[in-house]
Structure 1
């Protein structure tokens, strides 16, 4: 029973984990496993820009959750995670299997974290959400 209670409260480490996921998304095009793609060309520039923008947004949303908790932030994290999962197919870099794997994994973690936090904060009043950062 105590394990269930652990997951029913929004904890600060969840926000720090969200910030870490944002940084990992940001640097994902340069993970060491993908050393064969060292040349940055025009075809990879949109993929790098996408990883940069999504990583910065995930980091920023997690940072906002840490400072001033609002319900829309969890929804935004879920949308960003789903976008990251779909982006290899949208931008046409799904042939890069390692990057597709990393983006699917990191995007899935962002979605799961956002869903957990949304579930934790769903029943809280606005006053309780405002007290989160204290």
Structure 2
């Protein structure tokens, strides 16, 4: 019979390294979709999305070395930007769907990491 004591070791209650690796992978996929997706000559969109994808990769790497809240806030805003970019640059499916889903995943992961670190003292 399961007890409540097992809940204290539940994997999502503390910040784990796999979350930072997943964040870096999501950033790399966003970077790849910007470069190899059907962009129809929209160089501004490609540059903006590639920059945000690279920023997500770098933030994930920084989180592995130095765990700070500002990194997760920036990752959250990068995820929101990836979700908003299809509407800002007015490009369609399937790239629009990919960016909405990938941006939501980055933002959700950042929220999870912020929640996990809510009681942890993180010195600047």
TM-score scaled by structure 1? 0.81
Residue of structure 2 equivalent to 1:34: none
Which sections of structure 1, spanning at least 5 residues, go unmatched? 32-36
* CA distance, structure 2, for counterparts of residue 59 and residue 24 of structure 1: 10
Between the two structures, name the one with larger relative contact order (CA 8 Å, sep ≥ 6): 1
Matches within 5 A, 1:1-134: 1=4, 2=6, 5-29=10-34, 30-31=36-37, 37=38, 41=41, 44-93=42-91, 96-126=92-122
Q: After TM superposition, what 4+ stretches of structure 1 lie above 3 angstroms from structure 2? A: 1-4
Is the contact between residue 58 and residue 77 of structure 1 (CA under 8 Å) also seen in structure 2? yes
Deviation (angstroms), 1:92: 1.8
Give 1:126 deviation, angstroms.
2.5
Count matched residues: 118
TM-score (norm 2): 0.87
Q: Secondary structure at the match of 2:81?
A: helix
Runs (5+) with no aligned partner, structure 2: none
